Amino acid sequence: MTETASPDSRSADTGDARWDGLIVGVSLATLDGADGYGGIADAALGWRGGRLTYVGPRARLPGPEDALADELIEARGWITPGLVDCHTHVVFAGDRAREFEMRLRGESYEAIARAGGGILSTVRAVREADEDTLLAQSLPRAKALVADGVTTLEIKSGYGLDLASERRMLRVARRLGEALGITVRTTCLAAHALPPEFSDDADGYIDAVIEWLPVLHGEGLVDAVDAFCEGIGFSPDQTRRLFEAARALGLPVKLHADQLSDLGGAGLAAAFDGLSADHVEYTSEDSVRAMAAHGTVAVLLPGAFHVLRETRLPPLDAFRAHGVPMAVATDCNPGTAPLLSLRQAMQLSCTHFRLTPEEALRGATTHAARALGLDDRGVLRAGARADFVLWDIAHPAELGYWLGGRLCRGVFAGGRLIA
């Protein structure tokens, strides 16, 4: 039997203006509540001006269906909030399929990186690509994510590692949002790796990144600041200096934390009221407590876990015990997570991390929105942004069940059909 949302989650705009659109006959997974899918059978969803105006039973609509909206759609299946991919590296040039072969022959991620592969191989390709080339190569990846339900997309820089190339990546990220009609949140990840010109001077490179931040922020290209805090990346002290510079500019921070070892990265992110700590396979319980105290979201990245054939699980029970929200993202990147479906990341999170399908769906909607500092999406509720997806499924659990396939029948962003 379909669960029914509480009366408080059903709200209607009863003003005189007609709605832009109304879908009837579907089931809704509102996620409006702490537990369960917030399911409503034989439901209706209305919107106007890019915001939801009605979320509730069809039988309780405030007037005749054909008189309420300019466009009336009769449908079957389930509607969920639009998916939010809160950690991606979608903008890049070239690929690293050769490195995939190397890993299959036994080479480690760290060994490949130290030999000049990994991130630096993509840096070379990005530096050689002009903006239009970079856009042309990145657009199909972003389109694939949208086609499988993504309506909000975080995109990091970090494959340029000089001011001009980082700027170019961030400009392309903004252009992707404009081209696809979705929300794109940009994250400056210049502290991703050491470029060749700073190969023996990590502190000097952090100084350079700190100088770039006001420039990029002043051009409206940065929504958040990230770093790779790891033995093959940047130290906690170097990361702290960068975060202090971000805080001085009023920019929120995120962190690639505790992926390969426990350097206390998640706790460091929490100390700066970070939006999220991402990867978190080696995060300690002390850091989990800090995340809970500061409202920092744990972003799980099962695609990289899968591709790298990792065995160290994130501290999932500790996250649950301390009430740390767990988001799920693709980590779409050319080296360790060539993953073009957030729904597939949801399935991998269920398989590898034993998340329930409900946890995975919340992780790719409500909690992912929180990991980007957005409180107007990730749930179906009157007043929320009209980002939603119509799925050809009999139950929301199928979104964490099927491996591949085409389940998406329509993707709406701001009330507009975009895929």
Binding residues for N-formimidoyl-L-glutamate: 159, 333, 335
Rounded to an integer, what distance in angstroms lies between the CA atom of residue 259 and that of residue 117? 19
Per the annotation, where are the binding residues for 4-imidazolone-5-propanoate?
Answer: 96, 159, 192, 259, 336
Provide the token pair at 69. Answer: 């909206």
- Beta strands 78-81; 19-29: pairing state: parallel
Write the burial class of residue 95 (CB in 10 Å: 0-12 exposed, 13-18 middle, 19+ buried): middle
For residue 94, count other CB atoms closer than 10 A to its CB: 15
Range 133-139 contact pairs with CB under 8 angstroms and sequence separation of 24 or more = 133/93, 134/91, 134/92, 134/93, 134/168, 134/169, 134/172, 135/172, 135/175, 135/176, 135/179, 137/92, 137/93, 137/94, 138/90, 138/91, 138/92, 138/172, 138/176, 139/176, 139/179
Write the burial class of residue 180 (CB in 10 Å: 0-12 exposed, 13-18 middle, 19+ buried): buried
Per the annotation, where are the binding residues?
Answer: 87, 89, 96, 159, 192, 256, 259, 331, 333, 335-336
Please give the angle made by the CA atoms of 153, 155 and 161, to the nearest 5 degrees: 180
Rounded to an integer, what distance in angstroms lies between the CA atom of residue 178 and that of residue 138? 13
Helices of type H across 60-162: 65-68, 97-104, 109-114, 119-128, 131-147
Per the annotation, where are the binding residues for Fe(3+)?
Answer: 87, 89, 256, 331
Per the annotation, where are the binding residues for Zn(2+)?
Answer: 87, 89, 256, 331
Rounded to an integer, what distance in angstroms lies between the CA atom of residue 214 and that of residue 222? 9
